[in-house]
């Protein structure tokens, strides 16, 4: 049997180098693990992964409770007493801008004096105050603001923003107005009354941003035939609506003064002409339809020529009751409604 060949010197050197490299790699690994243990041991307790997860969960719980408490503080009420003044909310409503025709019609300011620009709507609060303390108190309208969930608070506007002294037991009924831009996201809306570092929140309805898309007559279904208007018309009340509440006089002028119209057709001779414009349509029906649906008929003449199409007539149907219609028709006819 032949003797084994002795190990080649070159192979022996290679094996020795490999063993040395493996040993060096092992040492480096052990050293790296040792250094890692030392770094972790040197870290503060609050930076440990488990502690961080716990702290994050605790932070979320606290934030949730803060939101709950904040929301609870904004629970709306209809009655409240702050600093000896007791408030009762009688009504909160949005005053619809009858001149809002969107972009189809640029309203002249004289047709809706004092109303906000297109896109904004007016919130009106009817409130009653009573001084329930034993000494005088001051009502201050600037203590109120309309508070949206998104966006800054809005201060009140108009003549009712003022101050009034109230003696013990004295009551005050007043109205507070806010003009609010409803074209922007706003979330839930409340009115805040803040007095002497304390606040209460009053409920208000959502703004009627798309009121012009509602059925004519709002929640009241208006009859198509004017003869189905059950109330008996009151000409004096109709004049008050025409001249004041509805502001018809701003466009159509004084019915008793021919040629006093501004933008709309002259209504001074309407009682005589209305029944002759559409065959088979009575004067009362013509007037009623023209108010109920402004585009139903286009009058032949306005101030500076033919009346425009579509009609610039405001949408009053959703703002008027059957009695309002009866009164205005009676006033414009100059005779009791048929």
**Domain residue spans of the chain:** 81-212, 215-333
pLDDT at residue 51, rounded to an integer: 64
Residue pair 329/337 in contact (Cβ under 8 Å)? The answer is yes
Across the chain, mean pLDDT equals 77
The CATH fold of domain 81-212: Immunoglobulin-like (2.60.40)
pLDDT at residue 72, rounded to an integer: 47
Q: Could you check whether 81-212 and 215-333 share the same CATH topology?
A: no
Cis amide linkage into residue 310, ω under 30° from 0? yes
Q: List, for the chain, all residue ranges whose pLDDT scores fall below the cut of 50.
A: 1, 7, 68-72, 101-106, 108-110, 210-220, 335-338
pLDDT at residue 88, rounded to an integer: 95
pLDDT at residue 19, rounded to an integer: 60
Give the angle subtended at the CA of 58 by the CAs of 53 and 60, to the nearest 5°.
100
pLDDT at residue 96, rounded to an integer: 59
What number does CATH give the domain 215-333? 1.10.760.10
Q: Which residues pair with 189 in a beta bridge?
A: 148
| Coil/strand/helix, residue 292 | helix
Residue pair 58/100 in contact (Cβ under 8 Å)? The answer is no
pLDDT at residue 209, rounded to an integer: 55
Q: What is the tens place of the pLDDT at every residue in 292-323?
A: 888 788 888 888 888 887 777 777 776 788 88
Q: In the 8-state DSSP scheme, what is residue 206? A: P
The answer to whether the Cα torsion of 13, 15, 18, 23 is positive or negative is negative
Q: What is the tens place of the pLDDT at every residue in 78-120?
A: 999 999 999 999 988 887 555 554 444 445 444 555 667 666 7
Residue pair 288/329 in contact (Cβ under 8 Å)? The answer is yes
Which tokens go with 71? 């929301």
**154 — phi, psi (to 5°)?**
-120, 125
């Amino acid at each position: 049997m032949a003797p084994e060949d002795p190990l080649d010197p070159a192979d022996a050197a290679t094996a020795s180098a490999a063993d040395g490299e493996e040993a060096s790699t092992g040492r480096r690994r052990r050293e790296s693990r040792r250094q890692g243990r030392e770094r972790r041991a040197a870290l503060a307790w609050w930076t440990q992964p488990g502690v961080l997860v716990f702290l994050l969960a605790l932070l979320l719980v606290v934030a949730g409770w803060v939101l709950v408490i904040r929301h609870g503080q904004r629970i709306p009420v209809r009655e409240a007493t702050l600093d000896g003044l007791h408030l009762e909310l009688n009504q909160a409503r949005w005053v619809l801008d009858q001149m809002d025709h969107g972009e189809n019609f640029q309203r002249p300011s004289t047709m809706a004096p004092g109303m906000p620009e297109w896109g904004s709507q007016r919130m009106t609060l009817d409130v009653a105050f009573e001084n329930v303390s034993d000494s005088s108190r001051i009502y201050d309208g600037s203590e109120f603001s309309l508070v949206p969930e998104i966006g800054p608070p809005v201060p009140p506007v108009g003549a009712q923003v003022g101050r009034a002294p109230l003696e013990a037991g004295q009551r005050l009924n007043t109205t507070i107005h806010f003009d609010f831009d409803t074209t922007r996201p706003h979330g839930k809306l409340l009115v805040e009354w803040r007095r002497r570092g304390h606040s209460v929140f009053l409920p208000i309805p959502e703004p009627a941003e798309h009121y012009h898309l509602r059925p004519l007559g709002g929640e009241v279904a208006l009859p198509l035939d004017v003869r189905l208007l059950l109330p008996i018309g009151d000409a004096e009340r109709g004049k008050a609506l025409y001249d004041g509440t509805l502001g018809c006089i701003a466009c159509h002028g004084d019915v008793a003064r021919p040629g006093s119209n501004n933008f709309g057709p002259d209504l001074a001779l309407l009682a005589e002409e209305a029944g002759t414009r559409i065959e088979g349509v009575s004067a009362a029906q013509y007037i009623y339809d023209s108010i109920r649906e402004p585009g139903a008929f286009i009058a032949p003449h306005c101030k500076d020529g033919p009346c425009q199409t579509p009609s610039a007539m405001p949408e009053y149907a959703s703002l008027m009751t059957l009695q309002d219609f009866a009164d205005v028709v009676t006033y414009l006819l100059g005779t009791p409604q048929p």
